[in-house]
């Protein structure tokens, strides 16, 4: 996410930044990240993470009464 915020979308640019910039090194906890690892992460894990963040956002917005979520139950 930090890379996207810094307008680095390509896995090659992100992998290069992880080697060169302290902010990226810190965010990866010093792990040497390759573009293959980045692509694998995007493919497998990011969808789950985004869904979880979206659900948490909805919960926070509902608690602050910015939105109202109507949950319909289905009785079989």
pLDDT band at 74 (very low <50, low <70, confident <90, very high): low
Structural domain includes residue 74: no
Range of the domain at 34: 2-63
Report the alpha-carbon angle 36-24-10, nearest 5: 40
75 in a domain, yes or no?
no
**How many domains are there within the chain?**
1
Which residue shows structure tokens 């090194």? 25
Residue 19 lies in a domain: yes
What's residue 76's pLDDT?
A: 52
pLDDT over threshold 80, residue 73: no
Q: How far apart are CA 68 and CA 70, in angstroms?
A: 6
In a domain, 76, yes or no: no
């Amino acid at each position: 996410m930090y890379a996207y915020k810094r307008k680095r979308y390509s896995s090659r640019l992100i992998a290069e930044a992880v080697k060169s910039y302290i902010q990226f090194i810190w965010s990866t906890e010093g792990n040497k990240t390759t573009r293959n690892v980045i692509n694998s992460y995007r493919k497998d894990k990011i969808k789950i993470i985004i869904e979880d963040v979206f659900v948490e956002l909805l919960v926070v917005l509902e608690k602050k009464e910015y939105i109202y979520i109507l949950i319909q139950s289905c009785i079989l």
